Amino acid sequence: MRIGVISDTHGLLRSEALQALAGCAHILHAGDVGDDAILDALRKIAPLTAIRGNVDHNGLCGALPPTETVELAGKLFYLVHAREDLDLRPHAAGIAAVIFGHSHQPEISWANGVLYFNPGSAGPRRFTLPVTVGILECKDDNLLPSLQPLPI
């Protein structure tokens, strides 16, 4: 199963991000969506699980939950916008991966068998940070995360 991971679009959904997410079986958006139309556009590609970020105050974005757990490919994924707001012990809760954003800095790390995955920002460039989305391949009971820089 191929899962697209995106965050911090801040109202800008680049065509390059849509191309990178094409063919995904599910998309996870880790908050700071910034525009309800982004949710609709992502749902045209695949089923979507999205959470609210600190800029999501109005409309459908403002109604998103602050955290969400979803089961995909037999694994639990926990979405939280800012990693410092993590409100549970992922390993103890049976979480396979924590998906987060907020910092705009891509990250792939592991702790206690749990993947911590920040796809970086797919929206407006911040400072000199890259513009990226993430892809999670679920194969043979393994999670294989990768980052895809977007040409801008």
How confident is the model over 33-78, as pLDDT tens digits? 999 999 999 999 999 999 999 999 999 999 999 999 999 999 999 9
Provide the pLDDT for residue 79. Answer: 98
Provide the pLDDT for residue 150. Answer: 96
Instruction: Please report, for the domain that includes residue 114, its CATH number.
Output: 3.60.21.10
Q: For residue 99, what are the contacts with CB-CB under 8 A and spacing of at least 6?
A: 5, 7, 28, 30, 77, 78, 79, 80, 117, 118, 119
Is pLDDT at 127 greater than 90 in this prediction? no
Containing domain of residue 71, as a range?
A: 2-149
Q: Which is it for the CA torsion 120, 121, 127, 128, positive or negative? A: positive
Provide the pLDDT for residue 126. Answer: 87
The rounded distance, in Å, linking the Cα atoms of 85 and 150 is 28
A 10 A CB-CB count for 24 gives: 22
How confident is the model over 70-120, as pLDDT tens digits? 999 999 999 999 999 999 999 999 999 999 999 999 999 999 999 999 999
How confident is the model over 4-42, as pLDDT tens digits? 999 999 999 999 999 999 999 999 999 999 999 999 999
CB 147 within 8 A of CB 118: no
The rounded distance, in Å, linking the Cα atoms of 15 and 93 is 36
Is pLDDT at 152 greater than 90 in this prediction? no
Tally of domains within the chain: 1
Whether the model pTM is above 0.95: yes
Provide the pLDDT for residue 97. Answer: 98
CB 31 within 8 A of CB 102: yes
Tell me the C-alpha to C-alpha distance, in Å, between residue 23 and each of 45, 64, 110: 7, 24, 26
